[in-house]
């Protein structure tokens, strides 16, 4: 498996195929539907229509999964995929709490970066972590992020 930016090249091998034994697929991490920017284009309006219409038919559906399915599934017989362009923001500038608490706060170079936003989405103690993030980045309290574990403790 080869790690690439924001996803990876996954290999599937069938030794009986000889020189053509390896098939590649690109695996992406899902876009987080809690933090995105959408320009008002025809494809983005169609994306919104599809995403917001599906919970009416699928009440238990997860909004993040619906958004990603509609954005990434390719056209195939019986399904016309979207033609929306996608860009991935720098995850050190548009942080989620997992990247901040597991990686950024422990790296002497990354911790100097000022993010555009921090989405506290990987931890249940959201308010306490949000206050600590504000203390760290806005008030300059260099110890504000230290008391927290990387993950959750429940």
Is the same domain home to 49 and 20? no
Can you say whether the dihedral through the CA atoms of 135, 130, 143, 137 is positive or negative?
negative
> How far is residue 18's CA from residue 35's CA, in Å, rounded to a whole number?
45
Is the same domain home to 14 and 71? no
Is the same domain home to 104 and 142? yes
Count of domains observed in the chain: 3
pLDDT at 54: 87
Give the Cβ contact number of residue 17 at 10 Å: 10
Which strands sit side by side in the sheet containing 22-28, from one edge to the other?
2-4, 7-13, 22-28
> How far is residue 117's CA from residue 113's CA, in Å, rounded to a whole number?
11
Structure tokens at 19: 């020189």
pLDDT at 146: 95
Is the same domain home to 129 and 112? yes
Is the same domain home to 104 and 146? yes
User: Is a pLDDT exceeding 50 seen at residue 135?
Assistant: yes
Average pLDDT of the residues in 14-33: 83
pLDDT in tens, 30-52: 777 677 778 899 999 999 899 88
Position 154 confidence tier, pLDDT thresholds 50, 70, 90: low
Position 141 confidence tier, pLDDT thresholds 50, 70, 90: very high
Estimate to the nearest angstrom the gap between the alpha carbon of 55 and the chain centroid: 21
> How far is residue 43's CA from residue 141's CA, in Å, rounded to a whole number?
44
Give the Cβ contact number of residue 77 at 10 Å: 4
Position 90 confidence tier, pLDDT thresholds 50, 70, 90: confident
Is the same domain home to 109 and 130? yes
Is the same domain home to 78 and 135? no
pLDDT in tens, 52-81: 888 888 889 888 888 888 888 889 999 899
Average pLDDT of the residues in 129-148: 97
User: Is a pLDDT exceeding 60 seen at residue 4?
Assistant: no
Give the Cβ contact number of residue 51 at 10 Å: 18
Q: In 1-154, which residue ranges form alpha helices assigned H by DSSP?
A: 42-57, 63-72, 97-102, 126-139
Global pTM reads 0.72
pLDDT at 3: 37
Query: Residue 128 is part of which domain span?
Result: 89-154
Average pLDDT of the residues in 101-120: 94
């Amino acid at each position: 498996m080869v790690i690439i930016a924001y996803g990876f090249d996954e290999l599937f091998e069938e030794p009986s195929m000889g020189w053509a034994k390896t098939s590649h697929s690109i695996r992406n991490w899902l876009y987080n539907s809690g933090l995105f920017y959408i320009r008002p284009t025809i494809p983005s309006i169609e994306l919104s229509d599809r995403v917001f219409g599906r919970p009416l038919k699928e009440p238990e559906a997860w909004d993040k999964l619906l958004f990603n399915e509609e954005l990434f599934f390719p056209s195939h017989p019986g399904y016309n995929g979207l033609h929306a362009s996608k860009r991935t923001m720098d995850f050190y500038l548009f942080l989620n709490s997992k990247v901040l608490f597991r990686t950024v706060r422990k790296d002497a170079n990354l911790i100097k970066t000022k993010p555009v936003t921090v989405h506290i989405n990987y931890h249940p103690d959201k308010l306490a972590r949000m206050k600590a993030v504000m203390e760290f980045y806005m008030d300059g309290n260099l110890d504000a992020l230290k008391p927290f574990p990387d993950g959750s403790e429940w």
